[in-house]
Amino acid sequence: RLPEYANAVFAADFDRAYQLVDHHSSQRGKSDDYAGVLAMADASLLLECDEEAEEGFRLAQRLIRHSDDQLRVVSCRNTGWQALLRDRYAAAASCFSRMAEDDGATWTQQVEGLIGLALVHHQLGQQDASDDALRAAREAADGRSDRGWLATIDLIIYEFAVQAGIRCSNRLLEHAFWQSAEMGATLLANHGGRNGWTPTVSQGAPMPALIQRRAEYLSLLRRMADGDRAAIDPLMATLNHSRKLGSRLLMQTKVEVVLAALSGEQYDVAGRVFDQICNRETTYGARRWNFDFLYCR
């Protein structure tokens, strides 16, 4: 059922994705189908069931009996994503680097490791290093003509351009972390996301809904940051939809909207959205540190 699971993930239907693989939770050493258990753990992580996800990752690793190389790579992969979601960037970077450089990793695992590494560098304001990781990931995906990975990488490049472009705007000069960050050439070439999203694989098959929706959301953020009040209502609708996806994502989305509103001098919107952030969301979204949230305060 993994193809159905993948389709549900790309449709942003994480509940459905979990339902398709949750039967793997009962496989305590009875099967070598570790990919299904791994999918179940990933779905649990998306749904913010962190303890269940951690148990699923451990079970998946116990079921890897065919290859010591795969056990090592999958262990790095699982630990890396958990560390990233917990804001443990040094641990995440170490795991993703090992994953990307491991000769025992498949090419898709190496691409995933490079993408994870790019996300870590971006969170640390190291955009040049992030660009390098994405460039290496794109070269690997290009070599295989993999549309899914190429579309994902294109989206992340646009994401970084928009998010960093907003945070480095002249109206957020007091945001010391991002104003001192290393802005890469790719970000500057994209003019902070103002060039829009232009996926290189847009021809032919339709874009997965998950990727398309994220690109549309980023475009709305960019418009709000440029003072376009017509972006307010669609962004509020996006916030309402994010409530279904858990506190972690909802917290991050609200902070992003607040920053975009401040950048666009739409202070009424910034105040209204910030007032909606509750204690539960800050617990999930700022467990170790979140400079964007602290700046908004």
Q: What tens-digit pLDDT sequence spans the chain (297 residues)?
A: 778 988 888 888 888 998 998 887 766 555 567 888 999 999 999 888 899 999 999 999 988 887 899 999 999 999 999 999 888 999 999 999 999 999 999 999 999 999 999 999 999 988 889 999 999 999 999 988 888 899 999 999 999 989 988 988 888 888 777 776 656 555 555 656 777 777 776 566 678 888 999 999 999 999 999 999 999 999 999 988 877 766 778 888 999 999 999 999 999 999 999 998 876 555 555 545 678 888 888
Query: 0.75 exceeded by the pTM?
Result: yes
List, in order, residues 6 or more apart from 131 with CB less than 8 Å away: 118, 184, 185, 186, 187
> How many CA atoms within 13 Å lie on the side-chain side of 34?
19
Distance between CA atoms of residues 159 and 153, nearest Å: 10
In this structure, what are the phi and psi dihedrals at residue 126, rounded to the nearest 5 degrees? -100, 75
Report the Cα 279 to chain-centroid distance in Å: 23
